[in-house]
A and B are shown apart, each in its own frame.
Chain A
Amino acid sequence: MYEDIQDLKEDYIFPTSEHAPITRTMLALYAGASGDHNPIHIDIDFAKKAGLTDVIAHGMLIMSMASKSLTDIFSHENIKEIDVKFVSITKIGDRPIFNASVLRKKIHKNKRLLNLKISISDQNGNIKLDGTAKIELSDES
């Protein structure tokens, strides 16, 4: 996809990638698949009692979207670290958009180490997830 992945430069901004809008079905499936059955993500009655207006997305579902965008760009085995903060809650109907750029690049022996800034924002530009990822590329990868 990125033929010049070995030549990525500092400050390079990756094309954004859009994920499917958050639906109740997605949250139910993610609850089942992940084992995170916290009702705040799947039960509107519970969410209201907790002081929210509706269920909210699992933070880890949003991180999974960021991770999916990373494995779309890089081979899974080249991803060495993902570190994120969940900055604000994600609601039903929000459209997560993945953003990434190269913060730093280091060359060590035959390896290229990339430190990426990553984030997920919504359709209004509000940041949901903010963090970094470390990528290690060797000559053959």
Chain B
Amino acid sequence: MKWIDKKLIGKQYPDIRFAIEKQRLRFFSKATSQTDPIYFNEEFAKQKGYPSIVAPPTFLTTVGYEKDNPYDFLDELGIEIDRVLSAGQNYIFYNLIFAGDLISMKSRISDIYDKKSGKLQFVEISSEFYNQKTTKVAKSISTLVYR
């Protein structure tokens, strides 16, 4: 059994910037079987009073993958991609996100802990999301389990 280095708690990752595009929102909405047209039809969204297509609540997950190698942080933690699964996800929403927004994501490792005498090790990554007006739109905690 390998132990994840707890000294990594507090480590900050470089900010990610992510331009919210209509096409990507439509693709995500199709892939998650959205039926409300605010998530894929710009004209409909505007009729409802939104500036453009609305990002579904869980779309934020895509922002964290916007890197050349979204899994390189696993190398740094010393864990293999085939031993890691999502254990939990928390989102707190402050403002909606629309096509045309430019989102900045700030992430850090907020906790590393184990259960069952280390058979399961958990890594918590906390993130904050801001739009181009520097309005905080959401925060999240993603928990990964290393099995």
List residues of chain A with CB under 8 Å of any chain B CB.
Answer: 19-20, 26, 29-30, 32-40, 46, 49-51, 58-61, 63-65, 67-68, 70-72, 76-77, 79-86, 89, 131
Contacts and interface: CB of A to CB of B under 8 A. Distances in A.
Given A33-B24, A34-B28, A81 B91 contact: yes
Nearest to A51: B82
Contacts of A30: 31-32
Contact of B65 (A29, A36, A81): A36
B62 A61 contact: no
B32 A68 contact: yes
Contacts of A34: 28, 31, 61-62, 65
Given A64-B32, A76-B38, A83-B90, A36 B82 contact: no
A67 B57 contact: yes
Interface residues on B, range: 35 or more
**8 nearest A-B pairs in the assembled complex, by CB-CB distance:** A35-B65, A59-B86, A50-B82, A33-B31, A64-B32, A29-B31, A33-B28, A83-B90
Interface string B30-54: 1111111010000000000000001
Interface of A is mostly: helix
B5 interface: no
A86 B86 contact: yes
A141 B124 CA distance: 34
Contact of A38 (B27, B33, B81, B143): B81
Contact of A84 (B71, B83, B89, B96): B89
Contact of B66 (A35, A71, A72, A81): A35
B89 A63 contact: yes
A50 B96 contact: no
Contact of B81 (A40, A72, A79): A40
A34 B25 CA distance: 10
